[in-house]
Structure 1
Amino acid sequence: MEGGGCLDCCIKCLGGVPYASLVATILCFSGVALFCGCGHVALTGTLTILETHFSKVTANHAMLTDIIQLLQYVIYGIASFFFLYGIILLAEGFYTTSAVKELHSEFKTTICGRCISAMFVFLTYILGIAWLGVFGFSAVPVFLFYNMWSTCAAMRAPTLPTNLPANESICVDMRQYGIIPWNSTPGVVCGSALLDICNSSEFYLSYHLYIVACAGAGATVIALIHYLMILSANWAYLKDASHMHAYQDIKHKEERELQDIQSRSKECLNSYS
C-alpha cells in the first residue's frame, strides 16, 4: 500500500509539472547564455582586431571602445534579467497548471492572478519584438566577418597566383561600415596583411562566436514565442476557470435558496395542518 501511495504521489507531482513552460525556460536560458557569453567574448576579439590592424591610434576609436564596453555591461544586465524572468514565468506556469488541475475543486483563481497573467502576456510580447531587433542586430557582425572571410577565400583561390601584385589591391576598408572614423589609420588592410588577419585566432574565434551568438538570439526569439503561446493559453484557462467557479457559486446559491423555500413551504403546511 505504501508503494502504491508513493507511486500515486509521484504521478500526481509529475502531472502538475508545466512541461511546455519548462521546455521554453530551458530554450530561453540556453539562447540567452549563448548570446551573452559568445557575444561578450566576440566583442573583445573584435576590439583587438580593430586596434591591431585597422585603427592603431587609440584616440581614433575611443568612442567605439566605450560603446563595446557599454554593450558588454548591457549583456550582463540581459543575462541577469532573463535568468529571473525565466524563473518567474516557470513559477507562473506551475501556478496556472495547478489552477487548471483544480478546476472542479475548491481552488479559486483571483482577479489579481489573472491580471498578473495578462501582464506577463503583454511583457513577453514586448520582449519578443525587442529580441527580434537583437536577432537582426546580431546578424550584422556575422555579415561583416563573412565579407572579410570571403575576400580572403577569393585571394586563396588556386586560379589566382599568390604572388600576383593584383592581390595587393584586394582590400577591406572598415571605415566604409561606419565602425571606425574616416581619420583612422590605416583604416584599410590589403593583400597579405588581410590574409594574416583571416588566419589569426582572434578572427577565427570571433567569427564563429558571432554565428553562435546570432543562433542564440534566434533561439531566444523562439523561446519567447513559445512563452507567448503558453501564457495566452494559460490566461484563457484561468478566465474559463473563473467563469466556471462563478457559475458554480450561483448554482449553489440558487440550490440553497430553493431548499430554503421548500423548507419554509413545509413549515407552512405543517402549521396549517
Structure 2
Amino acid sequence: MKPAMETAVEENTEQSQEKKGCFECCIKCLGGVPYASLVATILCFSGVALFCGCGHVALTGTVSILEQHFSTNTSDHALLSEVIQLMQYVIYGIASFFFLYGIILLAEGFYTTSAVKELHGEFKTTACGRCISGMFVFLTYVLGVAWLGVFGFSAVPVFMFYNIWSTCEVIKSLQTNMTASGDQICVDVRQYGIIPWNAVPGRACGPILENICNTNEFYMSYHLFIVACAGAGATVIALLIYMMATTYNYAVLKFKSREDCCTKF
C-alpha cells in the first residue's frame, strides 16, 4: 500500500491537472467567441428595434396631425395615408429580416472565428465555408449602403418637425417679450411635398400653430422620429462593424487556405 503522503500528492496532482484542463478548455472556448460580431448583433438588434418601433408609432401620429390640422379633406391626403400604411408594412418586414439576419451573421462569426482560431481543424479551409463568408461580406456591404440611405431618409421628418417646433418657440418668445404679434408667423407643410398644394388649410399660423406644438401627438411624434433616426444610425454603425469583422475573417480564411495548399506540396 502507498503511504498516505504519496496518495495525497497524487490526488492533488490529478485535481490540479483537471483544473488546468478546464481552464484551458474555457480559454479555448472564449477564444472562439466573435466579440465584434456579438457587439454588432446587440447594436443591430437595438437599432432596428428603435427604428421600427418608434418609426411605426411616429408615422401614425404624423397622419393624425395632418388630418386634424393641415388637411381636413380626406381625398387630399389619401395617397399619403396609403404610402404611410405601406411604409409600416415595410417596417414589419425590416424588423423580421434583420432579426433573422443578425442571428445568421452571429452564427457566421462563430464559425469563421473558430476556423481562424483552428478550433475545427481542416474545416476552416473548405471552399464552401469561404464562399459563405464571401457572400455575407458582399451582402453586408450592400445592406450598409442601403441603411445609409434609410438613415438619411429618417432625418427628413426630424428636420420637418424641428422647423415646426422652432417656429413655435419663436412665437412663444414674441408673446413673452410682447415685442410683436406672432399671428403672421406660419408653417406651411405643403412645401415639404407630403400633401398637395390644394390641400386645405395646408398651413397653421400664430396661436393655432402654437397649440399644435403643445399637443401630445406632435410631442410624441417629434421625439419618436428622433429616436428612430438614432436607431437607424446605430444600425449603420452595427453594419460597419459587421463589414470589418466579416472582411477580416474572410481574408484570414483565404490566407490560411492558400497556406494549407502550399504546405501540401
> Is the TM-score greater than 0.5?
yes
Distance 1:74 1:107 in 2: 39
1:170 to 185, 189, 209: 185
Secondary structure at 2:77's aligned position in 1? helix
| Closer/same/farther in 2, CA of residues 174 and 104 from structure 1, 3 Å limit | closer
Aligned 8 A contact 2:116 2:124 in 1: no
Instruction: Tell me the amino acid that sits aligned with residue 155 of structure 1.
Output: I
1:136 to 144, 149, 152: 152
Aligned residues between the structures: 249
Unaligned residue ranges in structure 2 (runs of 5+): 1-14
Distance 1:108 1:213 in 2: 40
| Closer/same/farther in 2, CA of residues 72 and 162 from structure 1, 3 Å limit | farther
**TM-score, normalising length: structure 2:** 0.89
Aligned 8 A contact 2:115 2:123 in 1: yes
Structure ID, larger Rg: 1
Q: Which moved more, 1:155-164 or 1:109-118?
A: 155-164
1:80-103 per-residue CA deviation (whole Å, 9 max, x = no partner) reads: 111111111111111111111117
| Closer/same/farther in 2, CA of residues 99 and 54 from structure 1, 3 Å limit | same
1:66 to 63, 72, 82: 82
Superposed counterparts of 1:182-201, under 5 Å:
182-201=197-216
Aligned to 2:242: 227
Say if 2:217 is the partner of 1:202: yes
Aligned to 2:196: 181
| Closer/same/farther in 2, CA of residues 48 and 163 from structure 1, 3 Å limit | farther
2:131 to 112, 115, 125: 115
Say if 2:237 is the partner of 1:248: no
Distance 1:193 1:229 in 2: 51
Aligned 8 A contact 1:108 1:245 in 2: no
Say if 2:30 is the partner of 1:25: no
Secondary structure at 2:240's aligned position in 1? helix
Distance 1:179 1:163 in 2: 34
1:201-228 per-residue CA deviation (whole Å, 9 max, x = no partner) reads: 1111111111111111111111111111
Distance 2:150 2:123 in 1: 41
Superposed counterparts of 1:4-153, under 5 Å:
4-102=20-118, 105-153=121-169
1:167-194 per-residue CA deviation (whole Å, 9 max, x = no partner) reads: 1111111111111112211111111110
**TM-score, normalising length: structure 1:** 0.86
Unaligned residue ranges in structure 1 (runs of 5+): 251-273
Percent identity, please. 71
| Closer/same/farther in 2, CA of residues 104 and 81 from structure 1, 3 Å limit | closer
1:217 to 213, 222, 232: 232
Distance 1:73 1:104 in 2: 42
Superposed counterparts of 1:254-269, under 5 Å:
none
Instruction: Tell me the amino acid that sits aligned with residue 176 of structure 1.
Output: Q
| Closer/same/farther in 2, CA of residues 70 and 173 from structure 1, 3 Å limit | same
